[in-house]
């Protein structure tokens, strides 16, 4: 079994290094992604506490449950603090085993499946591996959307723009690429993006290629100061990164978008999740 | 307020068209992504029921809560079936307002915040917009990882491979691109990917470029039948898509990976989420 050491290398520690850390396990008979998304959302409400996050996916047999329990017990013994466990477990026999451990168990399906069964008047399937609630068609759509996003990043390809759900425009490094990828991955939208570049500013117009698709065009903008910081990391002390260049480009881009009546979003103090959801709202209002 | 019509165009209907549908609202004072991920996970346990999914994000004022209630009431009146509401709401005053509606409310934070406060011995912040539990550094890492993944898709760039966390290899269209993007977006891993192409099969070796990084190399494979289907959609009736080509390429790729001792994963009947989590487990075992 592989559950012995499966923290993501990037996600292991949160908070400062010195305070003692509270361990939180994301345990599932599937990938554990639902447990992790929910768990992180909950933890964000408790700032100032160090959480050590440990992912234990694919716990789909009593044997693996016992190994998982053993791991939780070891962590408890090591630091003397009772661990937290966020559990999304379809198999009730296995989740009963896990409850025997000394930990605060936040059992997602236990909390919600029973009320749902009651409301819907049917028993749930209690089966694992349903690809996160997507139908096969949704899944295939999402993969196609991701391939579309990568093929239409940064104006690489003009082909097939008619099939885009969204086309983002904005100055280089304002957040078009991550937003496009997120829209495709999380929501299955075919998102293309086009940079606004100096020759667009000279012509003081949107690129010809995107003009026929005004109904699905959205702009992104960013504060010149933040843009300067981001570009500095990429090409230090270049003209491209100079604050003055950033100011001029942002002003020119916003002027074009305003005149063309393109709805735009400011990414300066927003996460890509927030920007993506705002774009989806704007699409739905248009339709 | 924008909550009047904010279903994702791709996510509105699930299930067959004829059966009456049960509406489920994902309501949040933030993006509602946590509510949606959890809600979809729960719904996947109730197959055969049509769910109409409606996302209402950014419900962050009493006024917006009342509009949201009105929308829930309208849906109820339209089809006569009590709606479901998955709620991730930090502001307790607003969530109290929403509880006045006639709906089955699955209140995620109510279910888990109180036990957590009790266990941790502190009050939670009850504040919105914490970028989904990521620290600023984690967020910046994730964006950098996404930019890395797109810059290192399909062997586009050899530069900077030393900074990759993972390098995926496999035949064209076996799932490398979506898996790389998912690893970067969900887990903040810098993922590069390299196609195995006919000249690699002739030399019967991995591409020279990736050889120095054997410790972070992983393979993906796929059944020749499925590969044939995927390639047919891309280039119908080409030699590239022919079942015989697919059989030969998959066999050659697996032979190389086996001989080089590269751990590999079969994407044929797995979602990218499952493959990504398996890769993360494998990385952690190596480290």
Q: Return averaged pLDDT per consecutive 10 residues of chain B, 287 residues in all.
A: 39 47 94 92 86 94 96 93 94 91 92 92 74 72 93 89 96 96 95 96 94 95 96 94 98 96 94 94 79
Nearest Cβ partner of A9 from B109, B135, B287? B287
Same domain, B152 and B211: yes
Per-residue pLDDT, A79? 87
Is the Cβ–Cβ distance between B25 and B31 less than 8 Å?
Answer: no
Token pair, residue A50, equals 């160090």
Distance in angstroms (rounded) separating the CA atoms of residues A82 and A16: 20
Same domain, B179 and B227: yes
Same domain, B37 and B22: yes
Structural domain for A27, as ranges: 3-132
Mean pLDDT, residues A152-165 taken together = 91
Nearest-CA distance from A218 to chain B in Å? 16
Residues 6+ apart with CB under 8 A from B106: A111, A112, A115, A116, B39, B42, B84, B85, B86, B87
Same domain, A161 and A23: no
Per-residue pLDDT, A204? 95
Q: What is the pLDDT of residues A111-155, one digit of tens each?
A: 999 899 999 998 887 766 555 556 778 888 999 999 999 999 999
Is the Cβ–Cβ distance between A120 and B49 less than 8 Å?
Answer: yes
Helix H, strand E, coil C: the string for A182-230 is HHHHHHCCCEEEEEECHHHHHHCCCCHHHHHHHHHEEEEECCHHHHHHH
Q: Phi/psi class of residue A249: alpha, beta or left (left: φ > 0; alpha: ψ in -120 to 50)?
A: alpha
Mean pLDDT, residues A270-287 taken together = 88
Same domain, B165 and B223: yes
Residues 6+ apart with CB under 8 A from B59: B3, B27, B28, B29, B65, B68, B89, B94, B98
- Name the residue with tokens 């009431």: B73
- The number of helices, as runs of H, and strands, as runs of E, in chain A is 10, 8
Nearest Cβ partner of A46 from B38, B57, B124? B124
Distance in angstroms (rounded) separating the CA atoms of residues A255 and A261: 10
Beta strand ranges found along chain A (DSSP E): 21-28, 50-56, 84-88, 104-107, 166-171, 191-196, 217-221, 264-266
Distance in angstroms (rounded) separating the CA atoms of residues A195 and B163: 27
Asked if the model's pLDDT at residue A54 lies above 90, the reply is yes
Same domain, B116 and B151: no
More confident residue, B123 or A223: A223
Same domain, A220 and A161: yes
User: Which chain A residues contact residue B32 at CB under 8 A?
Assistant: 277
- Provide the ipTM: 0.85
Q: What is the pLDDT of residues A225-241, one digit of tens each?
A: 999 999 999 899 999 99
Q: What is the pLDDT of residues A182-194, one digit of tens each?
A: 999 999 999 999 9
Same domain, B96 and B128: yes
**Contact at CB, A8 and B189, closer than 8 angstroms:** yes
Report the domain count for chain A: 2
Q: pLDDT-based confidence at A8, cuts 50/70/90?
A: very low
| DSSP 8-state symbol, A61 | S
Residues 6+ apart with CB under 8 A from A234: A173, A241
**Residue B46, phi then psi, degrees to nearest 5:** -125, 75
Is the Cβ–Cβ distance between B25 and B6 less than 8 Å?
Answer: no
- Among A11-25, A265-279, B182-196, the range scoring the smallest mean pLDDT is A11-25
**Contact at CB, B122 and A88, closer than 8 angstroms:** no
Q: Which chain B residue has its CA at the smallest distance from A47's CA?
A: B125
Same domain, B101 and B144: no
Is the Cβ–Cβ distance between A111 and A91 less than 8 Å?
Answer: no
- Which residue, B28, B183, B76, B130, is CA-closest to A271? B130
Which of A101, A132, A163 is a domain's end point?
A132
Nearest-CA distance from A140 to chain B in Å? 10
Q: Does A195 touch chain B (CB under 8 A)?
A: no
**Residue A84, phi then psi, degrees to nearest 5:** -105, 145
**CATH number, domain at A56?**
3.40.50
Per-residue pLDDT, A18? 54
**Contact at CB, B41 and A284, closer than 8 angstroms:** no
Sign of CA dihedral B209, A182, B132, B186: negative
Asked if the model's pLDDT at residue A284 lies above 90, the reply is no
Per-residue pLDDT, A41? 87
User: Which chain B residues contact residue A109 at CB under 8 A?
Assistant: 42, 45
**Contact at CB, B32 and A277, closer than 8 angstroms:** yes
Which of A98, A117, A132 is a domain's end point?
A132
Same domain, A9 and A125: yes
Q: pLDDT-based confidence at A13, cuts 50/70/90?
A: very low
Per-residue pLDDT, B45? 86
Same domain, B156 and B22: no
User: Which chain B residues contact residue A37 at CB under 8 A?
Assistant: 33-34, 37-38, 132
Which of A117, A132, A147 is a domain's end point?
A132
For the stretch A128-166, what's the b/e string if a residue is b when 16 or more beta carbons lie within 10 angstroms of its beta carbon?
A: bbbbbbbeeebbebbbbbbbbbbebbebeeeeebeebbb
Nearest-CA distance from A205 to chain B in Å? 27
Is the Cβ–Cβ distance between B182 and B273 less than 8 Å?
Answer: yes
Per-residue pLDDT, A134? 65
Per-residue pLDDT, B287? 58
Per-residue pLDDT, A48? 82
More confident residue, A156 or A219: A219
Same domain, A121 and A141: no
**Contact at CB, A8 and B187, closer than 8 angstroms:** yes
**Contact at CB, B6 and A40, closer than 8 angstroms:** no
Q: Which chain A residue has its CA at the smallest distance from B180's CA?
A: A146
Considering the entire predicted model, what is its pTM? 0.86
Q: Does B165 touch chain A (CB under 8 A)?
A: yes
Per-residue pLDDT, A287? 58
Asked if the model's pLDDT at residue A246 lies above 90, the reply is yes
Nearest-CA distance from A102 to chain B in Å? 12
């Amino acid at each position: 079994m592989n559950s012995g050491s499966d923290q993501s290398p990037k996600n292991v520690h949160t908070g400062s290094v010195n305070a003692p850390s509270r361990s939180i396990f994301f345990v599932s008979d599937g990938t554990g992604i639902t447990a992790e998304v929910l768990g992180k959302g909950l933890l964000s409400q408790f700032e100032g506490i160090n959480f050590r996050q440990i992912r234990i996916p694919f716990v789909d047999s009593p044997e693996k449950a016992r190994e998982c329990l053993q791991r939780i017990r070891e962590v408890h013994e090591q630091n003397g603090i009772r661990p937290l466990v966020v559990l999304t477990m379809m198999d009730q026999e296995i989740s009963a085993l896990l409850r025997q451990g000394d930990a605060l168990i936040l059992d997602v399906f236990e909390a919600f499946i029973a009320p749902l069964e009651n409301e819907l008047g049917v028993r749930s399937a209690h089966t694992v591996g349903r690809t996160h609630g997507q139908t096969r068609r949704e899944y295939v759509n999402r993969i196609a959307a991701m391939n579309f996003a990568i093929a239409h990043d940064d104006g690489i390809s003009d082909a097939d723009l008619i099939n885009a759900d969204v086309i983002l425009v904005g100055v280089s490094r304002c957040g078009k690429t991550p937003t496009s990828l997120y829209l495709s991955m999380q929501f299955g939208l075919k998102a293309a993006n086009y940079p606004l570049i100096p020759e667009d500013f000279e012509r003081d117009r949107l690129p010809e290629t995107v003009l026929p698709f005004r109904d699905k065009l959205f702009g992104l903008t960013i504060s010149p100061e933040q843009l300067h910081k981001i570009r500095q990391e990429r090409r230090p002390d270049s003209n491209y990164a100079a604050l003055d260049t950033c100011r001029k480009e942002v002003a020119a881009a916003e002027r074009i978008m305003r005149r063309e009546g393109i709805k735009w979003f400011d990414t300066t103090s927003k996460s890509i999740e927030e920007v993506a959801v705002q774009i989806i709202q704007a699409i739905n209002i248009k339709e």
